[in-house]
Amino acid sequence: MGSAKLAIAPAVPLSLPAGGAKAPPAWVGGALRWLLRLGSLLACVALWELAAAKRLDLGLVTFAHVPPPSEVGPAIWKLVNSPKFFNHVNSSLLRVFSGFLAAAVAGVALGLIIGRSRAAEDAVLPPLEALRPIPAVSWIPLAILMFPSSELSMIFITFIGALFPVLLNTIHGVHAVDGRLVAAARSLGAGRLATLREVILPGAAPSIVTGLTIGMGTSWFCLVTAEMIAGQFGIGYYTWESYTLQNYADIVVGMVFIGLFGMASSAALRRLGTLAMPWYRLREKQS
């Protein structure tokens, strides 16, 4: 009986670039995305300039008194070269990060306790849910009465702004952990602390990072409210003072810096969260 040879065709890629051209490097796609983002920002600035220059009146919205970017740019340069600029920035950074760090610690700790204990959820969560809808500006009179210094009052306002996003996202992350993983850890002899460290925290980490990112943004959002209380320095105080003095371009300058600092700090938190969760990055790549 003659032996037959099985011919195996060489492996061929499922799809090839047209004309046999090589696929573009990976960095090209990233560069195109950044160009698109930059283009969208420039387009918004151009539309703003056009609407302000034409004093566009849309009925419900009017740009008759809105300063154009051509006026805001010199105002930014003037503030950056002012000797008070670093005092404004340092004061705001201290208040925002102090309030945010306190909220991060309290929110994550309370979220883990409430998420893992039904008794704690019944005892602690209802008062917090009753406080959550209260806007930050409503806390100003009480904050002045509660704290001995205006600085602590301002930090408290930024703390309130960041606390609830961190808290609720942590609770959601703990509840979303697969119960089978917890049962498997206990069946292998893991105690409560080991289960919390090895199962609950890694599983809830993506939600916690999301809550921290949102909380950082709301801290900056509450900055103007916080610095309305008192003080002589701060980006929020500068914005509010510009409004009272009717320096319209300076109002936008304060808004621009709050937006830039808020965007940068939130992006830094997301990056740190990604670096701290290699298992989450791997899962995203595989999905």
pLDDT band at 96 (very low <50, low <70, confident <90, very high): very high
Catalogue all structural domains in the chain, each as residue range(s) with its CATH number. 70-286 (1.10.3720.10)
Quote the pLDDT of residue 3.
46
Quote the pLDDT of residue 278.
78
Distance (Å, whole) CA 46 – CA 63:
14
Q: What is the pLDDT of residues 27-70, one digit of tens each?
A: 777 788 889 989 998 999 999 999 988 888 888 888 888 899 99
Global pTM reads 0.82
Q: State yes or no: pLDDT of 100 exceeds 90.
A: yes
Q: State yes or no: pLDDT of 13 exceeds 70.
A: no
pLDDT band at 178 (very low <50, low <70, confident <90, very high): confident
Range of weakest confidence among 25-34, 66-75, 106-115: 25-34
106-129 mean pLDDT: 93
- Start-to-end C-alpha separation, the chain: 50
Residue 5: exposed, middle, or buried by beta-carbon count in 10 A (0-12, 13-18, 19+)?
exposed
132-138 mean pLDDT: 89
Residue 216 to residues 38, 41, 220, Cα–Cα distance (Å): 23, 22, 7
Higher-scoring residue by pLDDT: 230, 46: 46
pLDDT band at 8 (very low <50, low <70, confident <90, very high): very low
Whole-number average pLDDT of the chain = 86
212-228 mean pLDDT: 89
The tokens describing 54, both together, are 């034409």
DSSP assignment of 235-276: HHHHHHHHHHTT-HHHHHHHHHHHHHHHHHHHHHHHHHHHHH
Quote the pLDDT of residue 4.
45
pLDDT band at 162 (very low <50, low <70, confident <90, very high): very high
Q: State yes or no: pLDDT of 244 exceeds 60.
A: yes
The tokens describing 271, both together, are 């990056």
Q: State yes or no: pLDDT of 20 exceeds 70.
A: no
Quote the pLDDT of residue 2.
47
Distance (Å, whole) CA 154 – CA 146:
11
Quote the pLDDT of residue 160.
94
Is there a contact between 33 and 39 (Cβ–Cβ < 8 Å)?
no
